[in-house]
Amino acid sequence: MEQRIGSGSQPLEGAGFDPAFIPGLTSPASVAPKGAKKEDAAGKADSEETALDDADEPGTEAADDIDDADDDAEDAVDEADEADAPVDGPVFEAADRRARIVVDHKGVRLTLDDQECEFRWDEIGAIETETPRFGKRYTVTVHTPDRRWYPIEIEATARSSFKEWDEQLDAVLDAYFEDGAEAAEESDAD
């Protein structure tokens, strides 16, 4: 009789033991800090290296290149400040531990956990709200002209906040949603 040394069982294979077993399944992407961008950091390092290399050679204008890069960086910061500048007008914002909705001059932004979508005012066909008879979940649904809808539920701390949220959302929709419709009608009339 022949005896084998070691285990007689074969290792198990499959998705339960090896996630790479399923083709196309990838690991989640790593999250970089919000302020840092890979491309900016790499580009900045490359420009510094070329500036140092140019400075070693006589007769080059490395200082001018550095000044131009500084001016471009300042212009980019100024544009970002203008984009983030607060706009006078109503803003609706509601959030709970998982979901968040922001409606302002830019449009509607929905966030659920780590998923986010943004709609400009020209991409929105209608916005619908729903409050349950019982419970504390406030539902906002964004409808697009291509017959798609995107609902999000916000859990309120108290049912009394539903009325307040409806009033705030109506004020924002009156200010921005109708303006877009009127501007579209004026351009059609021309």
- Report how far apart, in Å, the C-alpha atoms of 117 and of each of 73, 80, 110 are: 29, 21, 5
In whole angstroms, what is the distance from residue 102 CA to residue 105 CA? 10
Which one-letter amino acid corresponds to residue 7? S
pLDDT band at 177 (very low <50, low <70, confident <90, very high): confident
- pLDDT value for 52: 47
Say which range, 23-27, 41-45, 102-106, 113-117, has the weakest mean pLDDT.
Answer: 41-45
Listed in sequence order, the residues at least 6 apart from 110 whose beta carbon sits closer than 8 Å to its beta carbon are 99, 100, 101, 116, 117, 118, 119, 140, 142, 150, 152
In whole angstroms, what is the distance from residue 177 CA to residue 42 CA? 41
pLDDT at 140 over 90: yes
In whole angstroms, what is the distance from residue 139 CA to residue 153 CA? 4
Say which range, 49-63, 105-119, 142-156, has the weakest mean pLDDT.
Answer: 49-63
pLDDT band at 9 (very low <50, low <70, confident <90, very high): low
Biggest CA–CA distance in the chain, Å, is: 97
pLDDT band at 3 (very low <50, low <70, confident <90, very high): low
**Mean pLDDT, rounded, for 54-71:** 51
In whole angstroms, what is the distance from residue 24 CA to residue 132 CA? 40
In whole angstroms, what is the distance from residue 101 CA to residue 150 CA? 12
In whole angstroms, what is the distance from residue 97 CA to residue 92 CA? 17
**pLDDT tens-digit series, residues 73-113:** 555 545 544 555 566 789 999 999 999 999 999 999 999 99
Q: Which residues lie across from 139 on neighbouring strands?
A: 130, 153
